[in-house]
Amino acid sequence: MHGDHYFGLIGLLTSMSLLNRTQDLHLHAPPELEQLISLQLNYASTHLSYPLHFHPITKAGMIADGNKMTVECFAVKHRIPCWGFIFREKKNPRKLNPERAKIYEIPAAFYERLQQGEDYVTKKGTIVPNEEVTTEAPRPKSYAYCADTIYDESIAEKVTGVDLLYHETTYLKDLHERAAARFHSTTVQAAEIAEKAEVKKLLIGHFSSKYEELDEFLQETTEVFKQTELAIQGCCYII
């Protein structure tokens, strides 16, 4: 984690406290970061308004499994330990049409089983196909975030088929040697990862401050992978 990222995190933690957050916050990061955060907060005599739970990441795998989604982490290659994350929605139950269910006189106690895809069998043995009273839920979406990293083809295997991939593009393609020396990636390299992974959309960011305009970043990337957008602060992206 770079200095600007670290101080940005400290600022975010304290800002949430100033906004009187009370809900627990779970932070998953390299183990070394826990000491840095503690030192900074203690030095500034900062008392957070919410419980902060630190979870050190030491290996790739599942780090969260909730009711609606899972979160996995995977290693990327940078000068210091960095991790990428994949957020996957869980498949929602089928959507019930209560009016149709009433027509077939299906008891409410069976509704949950209908949402799980079961057919209903009446007392007379008549089968009511599930499709008659429910509709398929939207397909679950997935999003992968790649932190600071040098070009690494193995990332493509880890994020294969996600709906949206964020990949850093610190430099334009003409500075590929500088990118490699500083463990960063270029526009074309990010596009190649997206293409190899067969993702649906690519989001690029982490642009070097040496560039005043970003149009060329989008131009170079879309030459290789057309479904690309610039990561702009404050914008929302549909997948």
How much is the pLDDT for 7? 56
Structure tokens at 167: 């990949």
pLDDT band, residue 1 (cuts 50/70/90): very low
pTM given for the model: 0.85
Known catalytic membership, residue 215: no
How much is the pLDDT for 3? 41
For residue 118, what are the contacts with CB-CB under 8 A and spacing of at least 6? Answer: 110, 130
Select which of 4, 24, 152, 163 is catalytic: 4
- Distance separating alpha carbons of residues 108 and 223, to the nearest angstrom: 55
- Distance separating alpha carbons of residues 232 and 206, to the nearest angstrom: 10
Check whether 38 has a pLDDT greater than 60: yes
Please, is 26 exposed, middle or buried when counting C-beta atoms within 10 Å of its C-beta (0-12, 13-18, 19+)? exposed
pLDDT in tens, 157-200: 999 999 999 999 999 999 999 999 999 999 999 999 999 999 99
How much is the pLDDT for 239? 82
Q: What class has domain 61-91+139-239?
A: alpha beta
Would you list the domain boundaries of the chain? 1-56, 61-91+139-239, 95-135
Q: H or E stretch including 123?
A: none
pLDDT in tens, 61-103: 999 999 999 999 999 999 999 999 999 999 999 999 999 999 9
Work out the mean pLDDT of the chain and round it to a whole number.
94
